[in-house]
Amino acid sequence: MQRQGSKGLVAVYPGPEEARRGLDALEAAGIEGSHIALSGNEVARAAAKGNTTDRDAGVLKGVVSRTVIWGLAGVVGGGLVGLLLGLAFFGFTGTIAAVLSGALAGGSFSAVMGGTSRLDMSEDWELAHERDGKTVLRLYAESDEEVRVAERALRGTEPVRVIDLTEAQQNSRRSA
């Protein structure tokens, strides 16, 4: 989808880190990453930077932490499944093999899923790893329902201000 249209929201945040929480909330609510954009002085400076080391470190930290957390959860879950299957169908030796196999399979699968779970993020997500400056998050919506879903998702992220562009346009047409 092209980033244009009359439906959408604008949420103003104190800085990029807070805006990233809003961006994450929108994507968790099922809003497509290509419908979301960030703007602001720090975001513009980040986009213009040739050296992206700090930004890349922030992205890598997020990917690695999700990989480790989901991998450990998979080891525990897979090990429990292996234990139950081993006790039900195999003797002692078979149970140990089933637990180890389950832990290995569960950990591997979950680590991959956890590590890649954010790869569908908005193109501007990595720009939100800068440090300072008021940041504007803009949603370009295809429907009124998408705007409502976004409003609900952004409530817990504490933006300074949220403007429903659909309502703002309707109000300006009425007053004209």
Residue 80 lies in a domain: yes
Residue 53 lies in a domain: no
10 Å CB burial of residue 46 (0-12, 13-18, 19+) is: buried
Phi, psi of 162 (to 5 degrees): -125, 130
Instruction: Give the predicted TM-score (pTM) of the model.
Output: 0.50
11's CB contacts (< 8 A; 6+ apart) are 19, 22, 136, 137, 139, 154, 157, 159, 161, 162, 163
Count CB-CB contacts under 10 A for residue 72: 15
The pLDDT tens digits for 123-140 are 454 445 444 567 788 888
Residue 13 lies in a domain: yes
Range of the domain at 151: 8-40+133-175
The structural domain count of the chain equals 2
The pLDDT tens digits for 31-59 are 887 888 887 776 666 666 666 666 667 76
Confidence label for 91 from pLDDT (cuts 50, 70 and 90): confident
Query: Residue 125 in contact with residue 25, Cβ under 8 Å?
Result: no
Residue 3 lies in a domain: no
Distinct helix (H) and strand (E) counts, the chain: 6, 4
CATH code for position 14 = 3.30.70.120
Residue 147 lies in a domain: yes
Residue 123 lies in a domain: no
